[in-house]
Amino acid sequence: MAGLYVLVHGAWHTGAEMDAVAGHLRKYGHAVHCPTVAGNNAGDDRDKIGLEQAIASVTSYIETNNLRDIWLVGHSYGGMLISGVADRLTDRIKRLVYVNAFVPLDGQCLNDMVPPHYVGLFDAVAAANKNAVMLPFEIWRDAFINDADLELAKSAFAKLNPHPYRTFTDKIALKRPLAELPVGKSYVNCRQDIALPHSLPWHPRLSERLGLFRLVECDGSHEMFFSSPARLAQAIEEAARD
Mean pLDDT of 43-55: 97
Residue 93 phi/psi, 5° resolution? -110, 130
The residue from 57, 60, 76, 227 that is catalytic is 76
pLDDT in tens, 62-99: 999 999 999 999 999 999 999 999 999 999 999 999 99
What one-character-per-residue DSSP string does 119-180 give? HHHHHHHHHHTTTEE---HHHHHHHH-TTS-HHHHHHHHTT---EETHHHHSPP--SS-GGG
- Taking the alpha carbons of 35, 7, 222, 51 in that order, is the dihedral positive or negative? positive
Spatial separation of the C-alpha atoms in residues 202 and 77, rounded to whole Å? 12
Spatial separation of the C-alpha atoms in residues 146 and 163, rounded to whole Å? 22
Spatial separation of the C-alpha atoms in residues 138 and 119, rounded to whole Å? 17
pLDDT in tens, 179-235: 999 999 999 999 999 999 999 999 999 999 999 999 999 999 999 999 999 999 999
pLDDT in tens, 118-133: 999 999 999 999 999 9
Confidence of residue 241 (pLDDT cuts 50, 70, 90): confident
Question: Among 232, 233, 221, 229, which residue's Cα sits nearest to residue 144?
Answer: 221
Q: Report DSSP state, residue 33.
A: E
Architecture category of domain 4-240 in CATH = 3-Layer(aba) Sandwich (3.40)
Residue 210 near residue 185 (C-beta atoms within 8 A)? yes
CB neighbours of 82 closer than 8 A, spacing ≥ 6?
8, 58, 72, 73, 74, 96, 98, 101
What percentage of the chain reaches a pLDDT higher than 90?
98
User: What was the pLDDT predicted at 83?
Assistant: 99
- Taking the alpha carbons of 186, 188, 189, 193 in that order, is the dihedral positive or negative? negative
Residue type, 134: M
User: What was the pLDDT predicted at 26?
Assistant: 98
pLDDT in tens, 128-187: 999 999 999 999 999 999 999 999 999 999 999 999 999 999 999 999 999 999 999 999
Spatial separation of the C-alpha atoms in residues 107 and 174, rounded to whole Å? 8
Residue 223 near residue 156 (C-beta atoms within 8 A)? yes
Mean pLDDT of 105-114: 98
Q: Does residue 27 carry a pLDDT above 90? A: yes
Confidence of residue 1 (pLDDT cuts 50, 70, 90): confident
Task: Give domain limits for the chain.
Answer: 4-240
> Which contacts of 49-53 are long-range, i.e. CB under 8 A and separated by 24 or more positions?
49/164, 49/166, 49/167, 50/164, 50/166, 50/167, 50/170, 51/80, 51/84, 51/109, 51/166, 51/167, 51/170, 51/171, 51/172, 52/84, 52/170, 52/173
Spatial separation of the C-alpha atoms in residues 217 and 238, rounded to whole Å? 10
To the query of whether residue 60 is one of the catalytic residues in this protein, the response is: no
User: What does the mean pLDDT of the chain come to?
Assistant: 98
User: What was the pLDDT predicted at 86?
Assistant: 98
